[in-house]
A and B are shown apart, each in its own frame.
Chain A
Amino acid sequence: MKLEGIRPSNFSGVPALMAISALVMILGGIEFSSLWMGITGWALIFASWGVSAKIENKTLVLKYAFGLLPIKLKGDDIDEVLILNRVERGVLLRHFPIVGIAYMGALVYALYRYSTFPENLLLGYYLGALGIIVISSSVLLSMAVPTGKTRHKLLATVAISIAGAFLLWLKTRKAEMVPMIAVLAMITLLIVYDIDTEDHIVLKTKKGKYLLTSNAPRDKVERAIKAIMEVLSDD
């Protein structure tokens, strides 16, 4: 039985390793101007995304890598089911600190790179580094604050984007980048809004925690939660 509208996240296990490797490859590609590193990184990041979740013989099967990598969670292995957006102080980073470390790594790298850029480069270099700074710091902040505080998170994202625009002005002293910064801010706002408003189902097992996310309507999410409960229950 397929869990409609549910997508496994790449926040733990092999998919998390794939995502972190992808990040290293992408940043390495930028650092060493290597096209193949960049392409491999992007391919890895797409492969790390979960594509579907289904239930087979009292086992929850999470599929990654375009459906080629299944991760099987037996009902017996699961100790806890937590709907993170329903608890009063649900913080994603507390459950998946590795994701925070990855974003922090990207942020530190981009800040270092941005500060060491000379002042006569193509504008794309500054904008690329600034994109990583704005997106990673906004997402990091969003994951560190309890779910449901969407308005605060969006305001923080706007503030970070303004700070980003100021950083860019310090480096280039050109006003023509303002529309690009506005586009970057809009993309970041959408990412932060999406993370904060989707449903997050955390499954705690002996081997670690797994995250399922959904943007589906409430009835589909409820059906999926019920199906997971049936996997866990006694016959």
Chain B
Amino acid sequence: MIRLPESMERIWTMKAKGMREIEIAESLGISRQAVNKSLKEAKAKLFEAFFSLAETFSWEIVRVNAEKGFMVARGKCGGRATRVYAFYIPEKGIMAFFDNEIPEFVLQHALEFGIIKKPDKRELINALES
């Protein structure tokens, strides 16, 4: 399971939920530079994790967003072309789902991270596929 270090994950999650770097720094009692450095490292780690995942399963990358932590890819499952939607879920790591088999907790996660405005599967797929 690919996971960000705990403190880095906390900072990245706060940013992904829409907080500004200065607000994160103030709420955690650290410098803004430390927040910025942590965010840069988190993004690089997430990009690498998503790319490695796609390479391992020979998925073709469509989209990778390290700011909100998701990837869209094209893959094959049982000889059939499928869409793969992968998300970095805090405390869980990267989880991937095929076609429209996206569970409720992922919709809640997407809602919290501002990827969608209401917990609707169609809206999430539209947001990821446009």
Partner-B contacts on A (CB < 8 A) = 75-76, 79-83, 86-91, 94, 204, 225, 229, 232-234
Is the beta-carbon distance between B44 and A75 smaller than 8 angstroms? yes
Tell whether B61 is near chain A: CB-to-CB under 8 Å. yes
Assembly CA distance A166 to B48 (angstroms): 56
Q: Is the interface of B mostly helix, strand, loop or mixed?
A: mixed
The digit string for B59-94, where 1 denotes a CB below 8 A from any CB of A, is 011111111000010100000000100000000000
Residues in B whose Cβ lies below 8 Å from that of A232: 43-44, 47-48, 51, 66
- Nearest-neighbour CB distance to chain A for B55, whole angstroms, equals 9
Is the beta-carbon distance between A76 and B43 smaller than 8 angstroms? yes
Name the one of A76, A91, A233 contacting B130, with C-beta atoms under 8 angstroms: A91
Is the beta-carbon distance between B44 and A81 smaller than 8 angstroms? no
Name the one of A86, A94, A233 contacting B62, with C-beta atoms under 8 angstroms: A86
Is the beta-carbon distance between A81 and B61 smaller than 8 angstroms? yes
- Nearest-neighbour CB distance to chain B for A6, whole angstroms, equals 16
Is the beta-carbon distance between A234 and B45 smaller than 8 angstroms? yes
Assembly CA distance A232 to B60 (angstroms): 17
- Nearest-neighbour CB distance to chain B for A77, whole angstroms, equals 9
Is the beta-carbon distance between B66 and A80 smaller than 8 angstroms? yes
Tell whether B56 is near chain A: CB-to-CB under 8 Å. no
Known: A79-B67, A86-B74, A89-B126. A234 touches B41 (CB 8 A): yes
Tell whether B40 is near chain A: CB-to-CB under 8 Å. yes
Residues in A whose Cβ lies below 8 Å from that of B48: 232-234
Tell whether B129 is near chain A: CB-to-CB under 8 Å. yes
Name the one of A88, A89, A225 contacting B61, with C-beta atoms under 8 angstroms: A225
Residues in A whose Cβ lies below 8 Å from that of B72: 87
Residues in A whose Cβ lies below 8 Å from that of B74: 86
Residues in B whose Cβ lies below 8 Å from that of A91: 130
Residues in A whose Cβ lies below 8 Å from that of B65: 79-80, 82, 204
Is the beta-carbon distance between A89 and B130 smaller than 8 angstroms? yes
Assembly CA distance A221 to B125 (angstroms): 26
Name the one of B41, B43, B45, B62 contacting A87, with C-beta atoms under 8 angstroms: B62
Assembly CA distance A81 to B62 (angstroms): 8
Assembly CA distance A86 to B43 (angstroms): 23
- Nearest-neighbour CB distance to chain B for A97, whole angstroms, equals 14
Residues in A whose Cβ lies below 8 Å from that of B126: 89
Name the one of A75, A76, A80, A94 contacting B64, with C-beta atoms under 8 angstroms: A80
Chain B minimum-CB-distance residue to A82: B63
Residues in B whose Cβ lies below 8 Å from that of A94: 130
Name the one of A83, A87, A233 contacting B44, with C-beta atoms under 8 angstroms: A233
